[in-house]
Amino acid sequence: MSIAYAMTIGAVAGLIVSSWQGFKDPPWEGFFIGRFFRSILVGSLAAAILAYAGLTGFLSIDNYGVFAFAIVAIERVVGEAYKGFFRKGAHGEYFKLLGRMHVPENVYAIKLLVGTGFVVGSYWLFRLLAFWLKQLTAGSQPVWLAGLIIGLAGGLLVAIGGALKDSQFEGFIPLKFVRSPIVGALAGLILVHFSKAWFLVALAVVGGERVGVELYKTFLKRQIRGMHAGKPILHPAWYARRWVFALSYSLAVAVCVSLLFS
The pTM of this model reads: 0.92
CA distance 141 to 111: 42
**C-alpha dihedral sign at 124, 128, 134, 137:** negative
According to DSSP, residue 195 is labeled -
Q: Which of these, 257, 110, 129, lies nearest to 203 by C-alpha position? A: 129
Every domain of the chain and the residues it spans: 3-102+124-259
Length of the chain: 262
CA distance 48 to 174: 38
CA distance 45 to 14: 10
Mean pLDDT comparison of 90-94, 106-110, 144-148, highest-scoring range = 144-148
pLDDT attached to residue 171: 65
According to DSSP, residue 241 is labeled T
pLDDT attached to residue 156: 94
Q: What is the pLDDT of residues 130-184, one digit of tens each?
A: 999 999 999 878 999 999 999 999 999 999 888 777 666 666 677 778 999 999 9
- Residue 128 makes CB contacts below 8 A (sequence gap 6+) with none
CA distance 261 to 13: 16
Q: What is the pLDDT of residues 12-61, one digit of tens each?
A: 999 999 999 999 999 998 999 999 999 999 999 999 999 999 999 999 99
92-131 burial code (b ≥16 CB/10 A, e <16) = ebbeebbeeeebeeeeeeebeebbeebbeebeebbeebbe
Q: Which of these, 207, 166, 249, lies nearest to 66 by C-alpha position? A: 207
Q: What is the pLDDT of residues 214-260, one digit of tens each?
A: 999 999 988 887 778 778 888 889 989 999 999 999 999 999 999 99
Q: Which of these, 236, 246, 260, 254, lies nearest to 215 by C-alpha position? A: 246
